[in-house]
Structure 1
Amino acid sequence: MPVEFLGIATTNDASETSARSTAAFDPAYLERIVRAHEDNGWTRVLFAYGSSGPEPAALAAYTAARLQSIELLLAHRPNVSYPTYAAKTFATLDQLSGGRLSVHFITGGNDHEQGREGDTLTKDGRYARTHEYIRIVKQAWTSPEAFDHHGQFYDFDDFVLDAKPFEGHVPTVSFGGSSDAAFRVGAAEADIYAVWGEPLDRTREQIDRVHAEAAAAGRATPPRIHAAFRPIVAPTQELAWEKAHRVLDRIEARKAALGGQLSRRHPIDKPENAGSQRLLEIAAAGDRYDTALWTATAKATGGAGNSNALVGTPEQVAEALLAYYDLGVRVISARGYDLLDDAVDFGRYVIPLVREGVAARDRAAAEAATSGAGTEERVA
């Protein structure tokens, strides 16, 4: 089965390890970093969302006009627009990009960050709203006739999209989270369910939970699984670990320079969202797991988003990722600490090895199936 790779699209080069050296809003850097992904084997890039950040749909449209093959994953918070308007925006972007759009719906795990844009619902209320929102958007994309909706959060009559997504394409719906509510909503509605990189046994637990919730929702086919990591790669294992500890030192130095907090969106201590709580729990129990997973970066950042690292040579990191593939992960999100150079290096040196490993597994499975069919015929 194919494996896909998700990178990041940004308008400046700041990261947890360094202040930006570009302008705060640099369209040339945005085009450069997305082109680096397109030219080095990545499948798609994410346009992230934050209350204080640039509007990601506009960035996706700008990118679609300048790059011809990279796919676009647009992060969207349901609290910022009515679902009919969002469905129209997404369909327009899908038309402009020739069918390259996917949408990642973010319910929001931090009350204060949500409140910055007037969202006062409780966490459970936000998940209920997201569930209703996604269903409306999907119906708007596909319904040939006008429809009415009278729900808990939205109420309207006689809506239809004249301009549907590109040539019958329905944008992929992506969703993530580690709370009970997240599993219920995402497993019921998403095409791709996103988790943060955890040890293999903990990742298996999350995959099993997604599959169980999907079955409970009546789905015959569960969502594909997306796992996110911070790769730290070097030519030798020794150099990779030296690089990893330099990364950690730089995170701590930047955190100190910023008064102990790396982001306005995420507290270093006591995060509200279940995913970050899981990352910190895992980090407290140990900093090395499996063959390459390193949790020190997650601990240093308060479990902020995608923050567990995979450390090693390209071969070691590829083998670690293939272990996740064997669990059922089909989308790999990776973002280095030097956003541009790491995207190039990961694309050149790791992605081909992972794809080769997946192809070898597919060949072995096909040969086993052929051999099994031959045995059945001889027995018959």
Structure 2
Amino acid sequence: MEFIGQLSPRFGSEIHPPSGPPLDVDFVHRFAAAHEDAGFDRVLVGHSASSPDGLQVAAALAASTQRLGFLIAHRPGFVAPTLAARSFATLARFAGGRVAVHTISGGSDADQARDGDHLDKEGRYRRTDEYLEVLRRTWTATEPFDHHGEFYDVTDAQTDVRPEQPIPVFFGGSSESAYRVGGKHADVFALWGEPLKETAEQIASVHAAARAAGRTEMPGISVSFRPILGATEEQAWDRAHDVLDRIVAAGGGGGSFTGRSSHRQGHETTRTNVGSQRLMAAAERGELHDRCLWTPTASASGAAGNSTALVGTPETVAAALLDYVDLGVTTFLLRGYDPFDDVAAYGRDLLPLVRSGAARTERTALSRT
């Protein structure tokens, strides 16, 4: 199992108004250290058209941490893939390999336009397909190469800096185009937290796309949740309803990576982002799904990102996460509404239960074979 947290450049969440400067250097260092102390494997360094530069954030934090990895959100199309390959390879060398790329083709037309990108959604996915082909080839080619495609035309491309070990490529999306491109390229395909049935259907779609691309080894699967824990079930649900009330009172919350109102960003995103549409559809079908998946937090925030909650005691939530492990999920991205307190609670009470449960499941499966 791999656990990923989510970094933010200043204190804030859907229930805590952002405080401090847009890039609070002291907070970012303390927040990364909290994830490392809690036993997270990586943190996601997010991206938007107004966010701090993720590569520089990760470079600074790599120098102040020992073990924590960095999953850097990256939008193809704003720098050449050959330059991106060198940038990520350089950072991976300095960070001792603790670097991964989270490929985001772009779910919000409005946010893409802020950086001058006016390609439609299908065009962005075609560009991502070609971008990742050139990116990986730059990392691995031992001789100069040419590439002449729809979006990129490079001649005699080569690099003197390569990663010592492969840089994992994560890929996010929930549309047919996302399955097609991510199934072809992703080491790990990232989904938002939907009910078990719908998650199983998405995993099947990703695997079908991978097989159609000629792959024999399937991508890993990551799923994102917002756990809300309590010492008892009653305490957990009391806290969940308090969180929901505060999200609603805040007009949807303001907890994006940049501090931009996630309520505003959510309504932008929902029009074009299939992932957000799917979360909203799950919320319309009911508030509570499976063991403890709770959707009102998604609908209240406009489903602007990973916004469905798992509510209960650590044992209940761990059991729910293990239900997803049984579907083939290999990675969880977990973030809370109370940034520091939740990170500490996850590390103390939740992650060990899931890791031990997953280990038992693996040992049982191996014994049966």
TM-score (norm 1): 0.93
| 8 Å Cα contact 1:255/1:262 also seen in 2 | no
Deviations 1:25-69 (A, max 9, x none): 111111111111111111100100010111111000001111011
Structure 1 CA distance for aligned equivalents of residues 170 and 85 of structure 2: 15
Structure 2 CA distance for aligned equivalents of residues 320 and 270 of structure 1: 27
Tell me, yes or no, if structure 1 residue 246 matches structure 2 residue 258.
no
User: 121, 130, 138: which one pairs with 2:128?
Assistant: 130
| 8 Å Cα contact 2:262/2:304 also seen in 1 | no
- 2:212 aligns to what? 216
How much does 1:359 deviate? 1.3
SS in 2 for 1:361: helix
Tell me, yes or no, if structure 1 residue 87 matches structure 2 residue 85.
yes
Structure 2 CA distance for aligned equivalents of residues 110 and 63 of structure 1: 28
Amino acid in the other structure paired with 2:320: A
1:1-380 correspondence runs (5 A):
3-165=1-163, 167=164, 169-255=165-251, 262-267=262-267, 270-369=270-369
Amino acid in the other structure paired with 1:21: S
SS in 2 for 1:210: helix
How much does 1:22 deviate? 3.1
Unaligned regions of 5+ residues in structure 2, if any? 255-260
Larger radius of gyration: 1
Structure 1 CA distance for aligned equivalents of residues 220 and 159 of structure 2: 28
**Range 284-293 or range 338-347, more displaced:** 338-347
How much does 1:146 deviate? 0.9
| 8 Å Cα contact 1:44/1:72 also seen in 2 | yes
| 8 Å Cα contact 1:335/1:342 also seen in 2 | yes
Higher relative contact order (CA 8 A, sep 6+): 2
Structure 2 CA distance for aligned equivalents of residues 79 and 263 of structure 1: 26
Structure 2 CA distance for aligned equivalents of residues 368 and 246 of structure 1: 45
Unaligned regions of 5+ residues in structure 1, if any? 370-380
Q: Compute the RMSD of aligned alpha carbons.
A: 1.4
From the superposition, tell whether residues 80 and 264 of structure 1 become closer, same or farther in structure 2 (CA, over 3 Å): farther
How much does 1:268 deviate? 6.9
How much does 1:99 deviate? 0.7
- List 4+ stretches of structure 1 deviating above 4 A: none
Structure 2 CA distance for aligned equivalents of residues 76 and 203 of structure 1: 24
SS in 2 for 1:174: strand
Deviations 1:340-373 (A, max 9, x none): 211111111000000110111122123222xxxx
Deviations 1:273-317 (A, max 9, x none): 111001111101100000110000001011111000000000000
**Range 357-366 or range 28-37, more displaced:** 357-366
- 1:376 aligns to what? none
How much does 1:262 deviate? 3.3
Amino acid in the other structure paired with 1:78: P
